[in-house]
Structure 1
Amino acid sequence: MSMSGMNMGPMGHMSMGDGVPGLFYLQNMYWAVVGSAIAAGTVVNIFNQFLAFQRIRDSTLTPSKPKSLFFNTCATLTAITREASYATLSPWSVGGRTFHFAPLGPVAIILANLVVVLVFCFYKLDTTDQWKWEDVGYRTGFVAIAQLPLIFLLAGRQNIIGLLVGMSYERLNWFHRWISRTLWLTVTIHMGFWFRSWGRYDYITYQLKNDPLSKRGFAAWCILTFIVLTSMAPVRRLSYEIFLLQHLVTFVGFIAAVWLHAPAEVKVWVWIPIGLLVFDRVARYAWATYANLSIFHRSTPGTKYALWANRASFTPLPGNVTHITIDSPGIRWNPGQHVFLTCHSIVPLQSHPFTITSIPEDNKMEFLVRAEKGGTRRFFHYASKQHHFLGSGNTTPVKPVRTVFIDGPYGRMRALQQFDSVVLLAGGMGVTFIIPCLRDIVSRWKMECLRHQESSKKSTRLAATKHIRFVWVIKSRAQLSWFETQLQSVLSDVEECRRVQPDLIREIDLSIYVTCDDKLESQPQQSQVLCSQVQPESTIVGTRQITNPIEPVDTTDEKGSKKNGVSIHSISKTSSADSTPQNGCLPAGGCCCKTAIEDEDNNSIAEHQCSCSGHAPTSQIAQPEPEKTTAKAAPAKVHKLPVFSGRPQPRTIIRKVLEKAEGESAVVVCGPQGLSDDVRRSVVFLSDERAVHKGTGAQGIYLHVEKFGW
């Protein structure tokens, strides 16, 4: 990355001859292209916001269906664009590892940026002419440093691009990584042509030893190479906390090396990223100060004389899951958003992103956190020690709640209440993202009903959604207890809405699939049971009665020393040596629950029982004992949740919803990569299959895939 010994003023502003554009002109042209792309995304985002506003206020029976030539045309173009951008290649399995590919839409954006960068690097330059090699070196250096602001714009949590185009920072972070790799390629070409020019005179070693600019440029390239390598997913997932720390340190070193290497005329491209980083930090800390200081939330119970506003309780749940609750938080959020949670008294100096499983109407912020390793496991150990035992009905912590700090909320997607039909699919812990989306729409239905009861006048519509399809794939029936209460409440609310307003269509279909898929959750520890083990009959999820709910477990750290901990399982330890099939389970860990279910309407499937992974018999599920009530109070109605032993077929499920849809539909999925890819391919196939509807937009499909884990 050397520009030594040259006056970059004339080189930057003036043409290099033969119609070759100046270096500063190419930098400006690159940002003209980037700015145009951001502007186009902003226009689309504004149009989508207007569309949602219009649908909610549409008084017709089909608010999500376009009703003019203009909106029909937009729906047609949208359907065609989505079909192309959602498409993805099938996963490749090599050496026991499965590689998943990004959708065509994001890939096309990255490839377009790469093409623009390479064109600007070599436009009207003859790379075969050795006397032009230094010109290529200058050009690629100028194009490389112009990319720095874009990389930092895509990296911040308080993201300006995300605000404009309607995308969350974690989605833009994927673009941040790939554009950083494009920068690395540009810098490598820049350095390579200078080496090529010096190599004619065997001058490379001399330059690196004696020229300060060459030293700094080579140091910047080495640091950037390290950043790119350590940002790869396998390395990043080894320890995310360590990755963040080293990423920050190496970033500072890279910026310093670039600033020392770059000539004065282009240092502005270094100051811009520094300014963006400062803006992101200041905005985050300012918001975090408001969210966590009690002085801004004096009306919140329990914070009148306290310094910090947010206190959390920790409760252990089956499956090594910690239930964290913050009562009366000082901020609002939307369904599907997440916050970075910090609790220094339990996990010092760590901040973890957790999806908010509650909705603002609950007046409390709830999280379900699986104990993996590091901070999440310490949360679970703390929760386990603070409770006498699980399933006793006493969930009051022994010790006081802990002070926590929240950063957020973060996360964006289109409002689901604007769609005619909504399909929600979750795998394992992915339900923490899906449940609040489900509850939000139903709460809007309920609010409409209350307004209808209070006033004889026609109430304002809060949701255009008519049909909700909810599918949750779990490994063990004990996991159903995480959200059984919420699901029962949802069904009761929908039933009440139908009673109050029988003329309006409000339908909800729930399905719970129990399967022995290890990818739905973390790999079991030695103390956990195998798929083929059978749960004793005394385990009843509905009444929270659990056999051996808390059992000690020894965990070994990286140094080989053992640490005492607590593990909660809803499955007792039974021997798996018997290879005789029991209740449909196959020997050697095989399980009938892996069978794909083509048609849920087949009653024989619902009656099929499987005891794999601690599954309770069908008759025992979703039948909790009603709470004790007085003689005057009527017991709450218990709805039977449809539970199937096997795997769902997303394509069949989505197709049935689309056949009844009278407007645009939304499909939201959160779970393992395999489930997300299956849903994505199903949406593309069904969109192409229903090409006859593209002209009317009656059955367009919006897809939102939430990433599962890191």
Structure 2
Amino acid sequence: MDGHMHMGSGPVSNTRLQQMYWAVVGSAVGAATLANFLNYIISFQRAQDSTLTPSKPKSLFFRGYATLTALAREATYATLPPISIYGNNFYFAPLGPLSIALANLIVVVVLCFYKLDTEDQWSWEDIGYRTGFITISQLPLIFLLSGRQNVIGFLAGIGYQRLNWFHRWVARTIWLCATFHMGFWFRSWGRYNYITYQLKTNGFAKRGFAAWCILTFIVISSARPIRRLGYEFFVIQHLLMFVGFIIAVWLHASEETKVWVWIPIGLLVFDRVARYAWATYINLSIFHHSRSHALWANRASFTPLPGNVTRVTIENPGTKWTPGQHILLTCHTIAPLQSHPFTIASIPDDNKLELFVRAEKGGTRRFFRYASKHDQVIEDPIASSKQTRTVHLEGPYGRLRSPSQFDNVVLFAGGMGATLTVPLLRDIVAQWKSNSHLSVTKRVQFVWVIQSRAHLTWFETRLQSVRADVEACQRESPDTVREVEISIYITCDEKLEKTTSDACQPLTTQSTSSGRDTRSASTDRKPSATEKDAISIRSTSSIELSSFPGNKCCCSATIEIGEISPQPCPCSGPASQHQTSSPAPNLPLLTGRPSIRPIIRKALEKAEGESSVIVCGPPGLADDVRRNVVYLSDERAVHKGTGAQGVYLHVENFGW
């Protein structure tokens, strides 16, 4: 971006084009804000509606709005089929977000070349000026989409983790514009072989090229496969590269365009100040009625669970939350300088904040090692309570339309995804128990897919309590429809997106009587500290599945709803569906994978108002649910004269 950009001439003022871009962005945010406001009005009306169908639109305006919403949902929920490369499935974002990202790209490219001739060599410098103005004007949008205390998210009712996907694609669009900007200047200088000379002698060119190189590194390192290699390292280098990029852009920009650099800096400062102020409030005891005189308000206990999972429990936390939100957890005494987001698995009525953390690598693995070590050594409850550790919380974050405003709710979870769906289920039932007018939900279908029966222990007690509470509600108000159907599918296929054959694989287990940690006695050699950690991680997931159907066979057969005689599992002989004998007789267990479409169709056929489908789990499960919601919405001709009601879909993930 040359220092004399203001000298560029063209048919349209470059400053005017910058204003046009933000007019488009503001219109999009305004439309999302209006939709969010209408959703709040609809939720309020349903809570106040005393008819038998509160979630069904009754006025002409809201019927029309529901029709437009249904049409928009079918278009935006749809996804392209996944592609498989060397046995790995790659999934696409829904067409809605893709359309928004594509629209932003088209607007930017049009503004970059509007009424300019790219073939005219005398216009190349004008294009260089123009693309520089358009590039730098997008910087504030990157920061508006990246902050956790997010203004756009607040207005549009969208969580920051969803906006972060747009943040990455806007950054890629900026990189493209910066490449145009640099390319046309190089093209102009290249006529006289001045490119090398300019990069050696022109300070603006040096700093501009440095900014482009840093931005290129940021874009490449932000790709999802690279982020997964080491998230902590990614965060640190991302922040450092950002600082270098902002400095280089500020030094490269002319005085009239430096305002576009100061705006994102101001947004960043606002986000950090707001986050740190809130974190200070929820973590310091002086702001809460703490029983102790300790400085820090939140202390957590760590309990190992089957499947390499650690349950983190914080009694009387210094923050409030709503079901479906997540929080960032930091424990410097176990995993220094690491902060990770975890879905809150408890509800406010519990008066404690519970998190379920799967041991992967880094801090999560350290949590599990610490929990396993102290769970084995300390048996005395009083001594165990002294092993709590000070933790720092940030949040909660996340935005989700309350399921209690919908007539029928279908909850899908794969593995740890139940940390989202179980609190939502419990919250609905808790409102039923309190006879709250806030809940208009009549039926809930809860579907949980887990790898082994041992994982049932994560939420077995909670789900049994839900069944008991629902039965109590039905006895108390027999004329009021209050139904919950729970289905738990057991499969050893952790990656639900793999839908190859129904082949089963033998399950190797290690016997334990309590589902807790075991130790190998095959040798007398004392293991090292590193080996102890490895044994702890492995053995806790090696649970005896003595009553696992199919002779300990891991089956991936798809089970149709209401199926009586399913196809047998190839390696086991017995049928792949079993109402297994279980420590939880009220919780029906099935072996195999659920057939998504019949489950959703059954719920929609009973719905007398708008329904909600919520899914949290592996990408394959989310993609399958999304695809079937679109199919059924189109099949039932929602709000197109058939009388069928709309379907709201929420897919919980942290970016595509």
Structure 1 length-normalised TM = 0.85
Q: Describe how 1:153-192 pairs up with structure 2 within 5 A.
A: 153-192=144-183
Secondary structure of the structure 1 residue equivalent to 2:229: coil
Residue 525 of structure 1 corresponds to which residue in structure 2?
none
Q: Describe how 1:641-652 pairs up with structure 2 within 5 A.
A: 641-652=587-598
Residue 404 of structure 2 corresponds to which residue in structure 1?
417
Structure with greater proportional helix content: 2
Q: Measured at CA, do residues 676 and 598 of structure 1 come closer, stay the same or move farther in structure 2, by a change above 3 Å?
A: same
Assess if the C-alpha contact under 8 Å between 2:146 and 2:164 holds in 1.
yes
Matched, 1:94 2:68: no
Q: Residue 564 of structure 1: CA displacement?
A: 3.3
Q: Aligned partner of 1:346: which letter? A: I
Residue 526 of structure 1 corresponds to which residue in structure 2?
none
Secondary structure of the structure 2 residue equivalent to 1:569: helix
Secondary structure of the structure 2 residue equivalent to 1:124: coil
Deviates more, 1:564-573 or 1:418-427: 564-573
Q: Describe how 1:243-642 pairs up with structure 2 within 5 A.
A: 243-298=234-289, 300=290, 302-303=291-292, 305-388=293-376, 397=384, 399-448=386-435, 461-519=437-495, 531-533=505-507, 545-546=513-514, 549-551=517-519, 562=530, 564-565=532-533, 566-567=536-537, 568-569=539-540, 571=542, 584=550, 591=553, 593-599=555-561, 601-604=562-565, 619-623=580-584, 639-642=585-588
Q: Measured at CA, do residues 697 and 622 of structure 1 come closer, stay the same or move farther in structure 2, by a change above 3 Å?
A: farther
Q: Residue 443 of structure 1: CA displacement?
A: 0.6
Q: Aligned partner of 1:584: which letter? A: G
Q: Residue 398 of structure 1: CA displacement?
A: 6.5
Q: Residue 44 of structure 1: CA displacement?
A: 0.4
Instruction: Measure the CA separation in 2 of the matches of 1:687 and 1:310.
Output: 45
Residue 524 of structure 2 corresponds to which residue in structure 1?
none
> How many residues matched?
637
Q: Residue 69 of structure 1: CA displacement?
A: 1.3
Secondary structure of the structure 2 residue equivalent to 1:417: helix
Q: Aligned partner of 1:253: which letter? A: G
Secondary structure of the structure 2 residue equivalent to 1:154: helix
Q: Aligned partner of 1:418: which letter? A: Q
Instruction: Measure the CA separation in 2 of the matches of 1:395 and 1:673.
Output: 42
Deviation digits for residues 394-452 of structure 1, max 9, x if unmatched? Answer: 7972643111110000000111110000000000111111111111111111111xxxx
Instruction: Measure the CA separation in 2 of the matches of 1:657 and 1:397.
Output: 45
Assess if the C-alpha contact under 8 Å between 2:161 and 2:655 holds in 1.
no
Instruction: Measure the CA separation in 1 of the matches of 2:509 and 2:380.
Output: 21
Instruction: Measure the CA separation in 2 of the matches of 1:81 and 1:490.
Output: 35
Instruction: Measure the CA separation in 1 of the matches of 2:643 and 2:136.
Output: 44
Q: Aligned partner of 1:472: which letter? A: W
Assess if the C-alpha contact under 8 Å between 2:79 and 2:95 holds in 1.
yes
Residue 52 of structure 1 corresponds to which residue in structure 2?
43
Assess if the C-alpha contact under 8 Å between 1:83 and 1:688 holds in 2.
yes
Secondary structure of the structure 2 residue equivalent to 1:312: strand
Secondary structure of the structure 2 residue equivalent to 1:63: coil
Assess if the C-alpha contact under 8 Å between 1:550 and 1:569 holds in 2.
yes
Q: Aligned partner of 1:569: which letter? A: T
Using the aligned pairs only, state the percent identity.
Answer: 63
Q: Aligned partner of 1:571: which letter? A: S
Q: Aligned partner of 1:50: which letter? A: I
Q: Residue 94 of structure 1: CA displacement?
A: 1.7
Assess if the C-alpha contact under 8 Å between 1:72 and 1:696 holds in 2.
no
Q: Measured at CA, do residues 697 and 84 of structure 1 come closer, stay the same or move farther in structure 2, by a change above 3 Å?
A: farther
Assess if the C-alpha contact under 8 Å between 1:552 and 1:564 holds in 2.
no
Assess if the C-alpha contact under 8 Å between 1:663 and 1:697 holds in 2.
no
Residue 111 of structure 1 corresponds to which residue in structure 2?
102
Q: Measured at CA, do residues 617 and 569 of structure 1 come closer, stay the same or move farther in structure 2, by a change above 3 Å?
A: farther
| Residue ranges of structure 2 left out of the alignment (5+ in a row) | 498-503, 522-527
Instruction: Measure the CA separation in 2 of the matches of 1:609 and 1:496.
Output: 42
Residue 501 of structure 2 corresponds to which residue in structure 1?
none
Q: Residue 340 of structure 1: CA displacement?
A: 0.6
Q: Aligned partner of 1:622: which letter? A: P
Assess if the C-alpha contact under 8 Å between 1:355 and 1:367 holds in 2.
yes
Matched, 1:688 2:654: no
Q: Residue 620 of structure 1: CA displacement?
A: 3.5
Secondary structure of the structure 2 residue equivalent to 1:314: strand
Residue 226 of structure 1 corresponds to which residue in structure 2?
217
Q: Measured at CA, do residues 370 and 551 of structure 1 come closer, stay the same or move farther in structure 2, by a change above 3 Å?
A: farther
Q: Measured at CA, do residues 585 and 207 of structure 1 come closer, stay the same or move farther in structure 2, by a change above 3 Å?
A: farther
Secondary structure of the structure 2 residue equivalent to 1:584: helix
Instruction: Measure the CA separation in 2 of the matches of 1:354 and 1:261.
Output: 40
Instruction: Measure the CA separation in 2 of the matches of 1:436 and 1:333.
Output: 11
Instruction: Measure the CA separation in 2 of the matches of 1:239 and 1:210.
Output: 39
Matched, 1:205 2:151: no
Instruction: Measure the CA separation in 2 of the matches of 1:427 and 1:395.
Output: 36
Instruction: Measure the CA separation in 2 of the matches of 1:130 and 1:607.
Output: 72
Residue 525 of structure 2 corresponds to which residue in structure 1?
none
Assess if the C-alpha contact under 8 Å between 1:420 and 1:466 holds in 2.
yes
Secondary structure of the structure 2 residue equivalent to 1:620: coil
Deviates more, 1:88-97 or 1:128-137: 88-97
Q: Aligned partner of 1:510: which letter? A: I
Q: Aligned partner of 1:546: which letter? A: S
Secondary structure of the structure 1 residue equivalent to 2:558: coil
Q: Measured at CA, do residues 184 and 709 of structure 1 come closer, stay the same or move farther in structure 2, by a change above 3 Å?
A: closer
Q: Measured at CA, do residues 646 and 394 of structure 1 come closer, stay the same or move farther in structure 2, by a change above 3 Å?
A: farther
| Residue ranges of structure 1 left out of the alignment (5+ in a row) | 449-459, 522-529, 540-544, 554-559, 575-581, 624-638
Deviation digits for residues 549-596 of structure 1, max 9, x if unmatched? Answer: 33379xxxxxx995531234253589xxxxxxx96369xxxx562110
Q: Aligned partner of 2:451: which letter? A: K
Instruction: Measure the CA separation in 1 of the matches of 2:7 and 2:516.
Output: 78
Secondary structure of the structure 1 residue equivalent to 2:376: coil
Q: Residue 610 of structure 1: CA displacement?
A: 9.7
Residue 31 of structure 2 corresponds to which residue in structure 1?
40
Instruction: Measure the CA separation in 2 of the matches of 1:341 and 1:139.
Output: 45
